[in-house]
Structure 1
């Protein structure tokens, strides 16, 4: 990714969110949000310990984090939290929303995909789906916006993930 984008990572208490926040912070500004203040502080501290030069901020409001970000990352819980979605919906207009799914919550269902598309009709929703054979580093990306898919594919490739786009 040639120009730096600001990422909001919502619900950083999940391992995939934490890992992405750490990786993204190596090259881009990251805004962290979690409902649990002690978790938020712990993650913030971890990111800075691993990368003292990281441009990372703790955010106490998901709306402010999303408003300031170019790309919003939602983990399983955050992606299915209707109240949270309503809070960030207006400030997510025109932005990429990366939804992190996993096998436990089965975020791959068509109902969930459609629900998120309806919740964020003016955003570019991209679903990140773990490859069942390799949960740690292989993902499928699914979404309707080609440029957004390319942006997330580039991000994942730069981090070292094996990634393919589902059509």
Structure 2
């Protein structure tokens, strides 16, 4: 039995989402969604070019992508899109919802995590944001569900990223 999880990445047009989805696609199935189909096609092509054996699929509907996934990853833009949030809220029940914050600011992290948990009351919300160092592969993780945070920590370290729990 495989312990590979399927990840829906919603909002692949942001730099941190592209970087992360490429890393995840090396070893796990990914479902990609973005409202910008040109960027979606470009990211999909890049993944297959860099990792020919990747299990990646472009999705035209965020609800279907979220329904089929074990973990939902939201870019900063996707997490602030109220229409998208409403579309996926019911299918995110019981799943880890990882929010990729662009800011390197830990002062507001608690408030953002609380707001996200309120948007997804029956999900395990984990917030990820870049650490203050100069590298792009180091992150802090925050969330109310310790097991979900540890799951994301294990994912990040398994794909070559550095992460610490706040």
Q: Bin the TM-score by the shorter chain.
A: over 0.9
CA RMSD, Structure 1 to Structure 2 (Å): 1.8
What displacement does 1:135 show? 4.8
Equivalent residues of 1:101, 1:107 under 8 A apart: no
* 1:135–1:117 CA distance, 2 compared to 1 (3 A): farther
Equivalent residues of 2:13, 2:40 under 8 A apart: yes
What displacement does 1:109 show? 4.2
* 1:163–1:106 CA distance, 2 compared to 1 (3 A): closer
Runs of 4+ in 1 over 4 A off after TM superposition: 104-107
Unaligned runs of 5+ in 1: none
Match of 1:60 in 2: 60
Equivalent residues of 1:108, 1:129 under 8 A apart: no
Alignment coverage as a number of residue pairs? 165
Matches within 5 A, 1:91-110: 91-103=91-103, 108-110=108-110
Match of 2:89 in 1: 89
Unaligned runs of 5+ in 2: none
- Using the size of structure 2 for normalisation, the TM-score is 0.93
Equivalent residues of 1:98, 1:128 under 8 A apart: yes
Matches within 5 A, 1:14-163: 14-103=14-103, 108-163=108-163
What displacement does 1:108 show? 3.8
Give 3-state SS (helix, strand or coil) of 2:45's partner.
helix
- Using the size of structure 1 for normalisation, the TM-score is 0.93
What displacement does 1:37 show? 0.9
Equivalent residues of 2:7, 2:30 under 8 A apart: yes
Q: Which moved more, 1:79-88 or 1:119-128?
A: 79-88
CA separation in 1, counterparts of 2:60 and 2:135?
30
CA separation in 1, counterparts of 2:126 and 2:3?
20
What displacement does 1:15 show? 1.1
What displacement does 1:11 show? 0.5
CA separation in 2, counterparts of 1:23 and 1:148?
19
